[in-house]
Amino acid sequence: MRISNLASIVALSAVATAQSFNIDVGQNQSAPLPSVAYGAAASQPGTWVSCPTTAGAPVILSDISNLPTGVTIQGVGGFGDFFINNPSWVGDDANLMEDASDVGNASQGGPGGLITWTVTNLAAGKYSIYTYALAPDFPATFSTIVDVPGAPEGAQTLTGNWLGSPHVLGQSYAKHSITVQTGQNLTILTSRPATTSTNFGTVNGFQIVKETLGTPLCFGDGSLATPCPCGNFGQPGNGCDNSIGTGGSNLTATGSTSLDTVVLTASGELPTALSIFLQGTTNLATPLVFGDGVRCAGGSLKRLYVKNASGGVVSAPGAGQASVSAQSAALGDVIAPGTSRWYQVYYRDPNLTFCASPAGGSFNVSNAVQIDW
């Protein structure tokens, strides 16, 4: 029993943090979850989460770093999950693709022909959606059409004698890109080709990739001319390390500058640290020691937002707050199109005991991100 008509709806609404997810559809009994080293088509290694369509309730998702989130996914409809061994697929390819969801086809009657996938509480921003939909038993015979209304890629038909990694667009997966606004619903449609009763397809999994914005720089990993003030070097790409040894705070930006849906997110701070989002008009040629870290944002500095981290993560702007450009203008810095700004987050850390005075400043700072407006 397989698929010929599948419609999937992913409902997206905003939360504070930026998230990316790897989702393996199926019960994961005969084929376990892929390993954290498996990036699949998105080249996105990390934690994989099981989503059985027979769950009957939303599945709470952890992100690719295995951090809990408020995001859920639920599949409703179809004929449940199944497993079929394909001898051409081995290792993590088999773990992702051999257990899957059976949608059936419309000629079989309800609930065949439709599965509705609902993902809730994603942050606003630009996403790439990877949909894996290839039959493990007859991949070159059965096919599935995947479409995301509003995405420029249009409908894509998945079928073919795919023999394993690397994944092939149009065979093992479809890819769509779309910008999600706060509260916006994103609909993914997968439907049958022309033959109703003899075509059967599969839904194997999803990867949801939150695309970043801007250029990261000013790393506290020893790559700067100005080192971390007390040898507290962070992990590559982060700021200088802090007292709880997270490897430093990492700042990323997501969203769009054209409509200003920019969201700045810092992770790896102390669990509830008071955090200040800083904007500068220049990038300092010689970075400055700044508390227990290094600052590259310079020129006219503006404190855009002051917030407390939750679980070591903090994002701005949040619900009800002015956009980055509006907040900047309110503070006297109107961002003209074609110009750049530099962003860092500094946060309370009074416990870095090996960073003694005068270097120790009871606070630390993330890497920087340059955004071209």
- pLDDT tens track for 193-228: 555 566 777 889 999 998 778 999 999 999 999 999
Per DSSP, what are the bridge partners of residue 295?
288
Domain ranges of the chain: 6-210, 213-372
Q: What is the pLDDT of residue 49?
A: 95
Encoded amino acid at 297, one letter: A
Which residue did the predictor score with more confidence, 310 or 125? 310
Q: What is the pLDDT of residue 12?
A: 31
**In this model, does residue 129 exceed pLDDT 50?**
yes
Encoded amino acid at 91, one letter: G
> If DSSP codes are grouped into helix, strand and coil, which group holds residue 55?
helix
User: For residues 144 and 38, is the Cβ–Cβ distance under 8 A?
Assistant: no
- pLDDT tens track for 52-98: 876 578 899 999 888 888 888 888 877 889 999 999 999 999 999 99
Q: How many CB atoms lie within 10 A of CB 176?
A: 22
- pLDDT tens track for 39-58: 999 998 999 999 987 657 88
Instruction: With 0.85 as the threshold, say if the pTM is over it.
Output: no
Going by C-alpha positions, the residue among 16, 36, 37, 28 that lies closest to residue 82 is 28
- Record the tokens describing residue 235, joined without a space: 């992990």
